[in-house]
Homo-oligomer: A and B are copies of this chain.
Amino acid sequence: MKLYDFTPAPNPRRVRIFLAEKGIKVPMEQIDLMSRAQLKPEFLAVNPQGTVPALVLDDGTVISEVVAICRYFEAVQPEPRLFGTTPAEQALVTMWEHIFELDGMLAIGEAFRNSVERFKDRALPGQLNHPQIPALVERGRRRTVHFFDKLEACLADRPYVAGGSYSIADITAMASVDFAKRMDYAIPEGNAHSRRWYEAVSSRPSAAA
């Protein structure tokens, strides 16, 4: 088994945190996204999506997409449960993970990738090159501000994003907050619930993974 990783990137970090919470160690190989190694033929032969992270199982099965890789490890080692236990918990974890992926990670990525010079022709991840679109910087920034509002509302009545227990939804939300720092966004001063939560999740040992 091997996990293709790139330490500085926010998406592979979500998997590393998940594995740290499970106490699972997997052999890793770095794919240097800075030199676009994910688009070279050697890596596309492994993961045709041209994305990192990617997990290769011992039988050669390749799994891309953060949530899919994490789902694999949840199935092979259910404890501690990071996708919820009861049907309603499972649904709420899936829901909040999805919301914060789209309204957090993707929204922040929209502002980031459309404004930073080195993503000039790489405004979206994956095989296709896309030029930056200036109007998306503004839209991404509006969405990033809204992400912080949504996070605060979500956490108003519960300790963790999806309820009473830490889950993959917290990982995605925390990774979003940290990703937003690259655009100089921080949790607003007045967002007391988010600040309390961020303090708790980012002081877990897994956050350093």
Which A residues are within 8 Å of any B CB, using their own CB? Answer: 48-49, 55, 57, 59, 61, 63-65, 67-69, 71-72, 75-76, 86-88, 90-92, 94-95, 98-99, 103, 124, 126-128, 130, 133, 135-136, 139, 142-143, 146, 153
Contact = CB atoms under 8 A, between A and B. Distances in A.
Contacts of A133: 133, 135-136, 139
Contacts of A48: 153
> Which of A55, A71, A88 counts the most chain B CB atoms within 10 A?
A71
Contacts of A49: 99
A82 to B, nearest CB: 14
B65 A94 contact: yes
A65 B139 contact: no
A92 B64 CA distance: 8
Given A71-B90, A72-B88, A99 B130 contact: no
B98 A127 contact: no
Across chains A and B, which 9 residue pairs bring their CB atoms closest together, nearest first? A75-B87, A68-B95, A72-B91, A68-B94, A65-B98, A71-B94, A63-B91, A65-B95, A133-B135
Nearest to A98: B65
A153 B127 CA distance: 13
A39 B1 CA distance: 47
26 contacts: A55-B91, A57-B88, A59-B88, A61-B92, A63-B91, A63-B92, A65-B94, A65-B98, A65-B99, A67-B98, A68-B91, A68-B94, A68-B98, A71-B91, A72-B88, A75-B87, A76-B87, A127-B146, A128-B146, A130-B139, A130-B142, A133-B133, A133-B135, A133-B136, A133-B139, A136-B136
